[in-house]
Amino acid sequence: MVIRQIEDVSCRETGPKRMEGADSASIAPFLRATVSSAFGLRPDALGASGRGRADVAFARQTAMYLAHTRLQLSYVDVGRLFDRDRTTARHACRQVEERREDPRIDSILDCLERAIDIRGRPSATSGGGE
């Protein structure tokens, strides 16, 4: 699996458990770009038809998981966002949860969640961010 090395980064800072302050449609492109970058892929790879390579499939599953857990989208809406069925979205979330057992993957997910949480805060979306 191709995952960029994330070293010496503590992403377990206190913050919102779920995204607040931004609507899901406006943050979806950011989600795709952030996840694809973390996996060393192009953003359009996440929307490709078919399962594709294992690294692409896991990156897509990760984006679906984050859309459900951080953007609070239903499985139906997550499926629509990635041109997949709701059952595929649910399966993706389960797969990612299971893979969190791996400390490396858990660390990457923590960082991605943190990035989405920061992007979703009102100050970050209204131009008053850092």
Q: What CATH number does residue 106 fall under?
A: 1.10.1750.10
86 assigned to some structural domain: yes
Percent residues over pLDDT 90 in the chain: 48
Backbone torsions φ then ψ of 62, nearest 5 degrees: -65, -45
Residue 18 lies in a domain: no
Confidence of residue 25 (pLDDT cuts 50, 70, 90): low
**Residue 98 domain-assigned (yes or no):** yes
What's the domain count of the chain? Answer: 1
Structural domain boundaries enclosing 79: 24-44+52-122
pLDDT attached to residue 121: 57
- DSSP class per residue in 76-110: HHHHHHTT--HHHHHHHHHHHHHHTTSHHHHHHHH
pLDDT attached to residue 22 = 52
The helix-helix angle for 24-38 and 54-69 (nearest 10°) equals 150
The predicted structure's pLDDT at residue 86: 96
6 belongs to a structural domain: no
At 61, is the secondary structure helix, strand, or coil?
helix
Residue 8 resides in a domain? no
Structure confidence by residue, pLDDT tens digits, 31-43: 889 999 999 999 8
Alpha-carbon gap, residue 13 to 53, rounded angstroms:
33
17 inside domain = no
pLDDT value at residue 7? 37
Answer whether residue 70 is part of any domain. yes
Position 83 confidence tier, pLDDT thresholds 50, 70, 90: confident
Phi-psi region of 72 (alpha: psi -120 to 50; beta: other; left: phi over 0): left
Contact 64, 56 (CB under 8 A): no
Is residue 9 situated within a structural domain?
no
Instruction: List the structure tokens of 64.
Output: 């679906």
Confidence class of residue 4 from pLDDT cuts 50, 70 and 90?
very low
